[in-house]
Amino acid sequence: MTNELTEITVIGDDSTGIVAQFTSLLFERGINIEDIDQAVRDGLFRMTTTVDTSEMVCTEEKLREDLLELGDELDVDVQVRFPADRETQQIAVLVTKESHCLEALFEAWTNDELGADISVVIGNHDDLQPLAEQYGVPFHDVGDEKGTPDEEELLDLLAEYDADLIVLARYMRILSPNVVFRYEDRIINIHPSLLPAFPGARAYEQAVQEGVRIAGVTAHYVTTDLDQGPIITQRACDVRDDDTRADLKQRGQPLEADALLEAVRLHLNNDVSVHRGRTSLRDDADGYQPGLTRDAQRANPDRPVDGLGDALSEGGDGAEITTESDDD
């Protein structure tokens, strides 16, 4: 989604006619639909519509009013995000007990490297409240004694602080469709493995048990399918023969903070987009490290390449070589 487009999200119980009524309302106001996506999970309906409102025949205030009125009639929640709603985007950070990712975000924020504000930190435990208070950011604990979050309170807080982006900074709980659907492609999580390998809990331990030689971390958008959302950035590290889960975790935590921060920057700068479950970088998006470092890239061998020997044996006359490969 670019800065010039408006995003409309509709959430509610699944029923017939919702899509038709909202698209008709937009058509009647001269609004062109650029993209529309729908999903149903556990009886909950979500429709995200990206529209061009540059030539609409009503004001932004009138459109918002009409959409909310239709939402009330159909008993669904409606969110409208116009391009000019705010100059500075607001970030809500969700945490549990580990501090390294939150610290990296705070450091980038205080150094004016985000171009956005961290408006609130929300935890399912209160362990990181002192860190948030140190940076003057409100902290809210929405978890019970076992850390189970109250998602209705969470949603109220996200609305109260006008969250444009939700960052899961090692937040150790799965968000329900009721939350995810409302913030489609606006929730970024960091997972301690090179997804799609080792999803779910205890990813570092899985890597050690499987005997992999390379492990890593993945920052991705959150979907209703656990650890299967579109990948934004990844970082890798070696796994040594005698590594324990604790060793790999210690080596991985700085990578988690780095990959998460890079993914947040890409999102805030509108340099990454999602299409059919995959992300892509904008053509002029320079200066990012979505994967390997340049040193690691240079260390990778670039010879031999299939067919190169045949070309040389023919005297390098430029004859066309056709090969078959299992990758074709």
Write the single-letter amino acid at 300: N
- Encoding tokens for residue 87? 């100059």
The answer to whether residues 273 and 280 touch, using CB atoms and an 8 Å cutoff, is yes
Q: Is pLDDT above 90 for 110?
A: yes
Q: Is 135 exposed, middle or buried (0-12, 13-18, 19+ CB in 10 A)?
A: middle
The answer to whether residues 15 and 76 touch, using CB atoms and an 8 Å cutoff, is no
Nearest to 216 by CA among 251, 247, 246: 251
- Read out DSSP for 67-129? HHHHHHHHT-EEEEE-TTS-SSEEEEEEESS--HHHHHHHHHHHTT-SSEEEEEEEESSSTTH
Reduced to 3 states (helix: H, G, I; strand: E, B; else coil), residue 183 is helix
Q: Is 61 exposed, middle or buried (0-12, 13-18, 19+ CB in 10 A)?
A: exposed
The dihedral region occupied by 147, where left means phi > 0, alpha psi between -120 and 50, and beta the remainder, is left
CA 149 to chain centre: 20
The answer to whether residues 302 and 275 touch, using CB atoms and an 8 Å cutoff, is no
What is residue 213's DSSP assignment? S
Return the pLDDT at 220: 98
Q: 201: pLDDT confidence band, cut at 50, 70 and 90?
A: very high
Nearest to 243 by CA among 191, 206, 190: 206
Write the single-letter amino acid at 205: E
- Read out DSSP for 20-35? HHHHHHHHHTT-EEEE
One of 141, 164, 227, 271 is an active-site residue; which one? 227
- Give dist(CA 292, CA 141) in Å, integer: 36
Q: What percent of the chain shows pLDDT beyond 90? A: 80
- Give dist(CA 6, CA 314) in Å, integer: 58
Q: 319: pLDDT confidence band, cut at 50, 70 and 90?
A: low
Q: Examine the residue annotation and report whether 227 is marked as an active-site residue of this protein.
A: yes
Q: How many residues in the chain? A: 328
Beta bridge pairs of residue 274: 279
Among 96-100, 151-155, 208-212, 312-316, where is mean pLDDT lowest? Answer: 312-316
Beta bridge pairs of residue 37: 48
Query: pLDDT of 273-290, one tens digit each?
Result: 998 889 999 998 989 999
Write the single-letter amino acid at 319: A
Mean pLDDT of all residues in 293-317: 79
Reduced to 3 states (helix: H, G, I; strand: E, B; else coil), residue 62 is helix
Query: pLDDT of 236-245, one tens digit each?
Result: 999 999 999 9
Residue with tokens 């700085």: 254
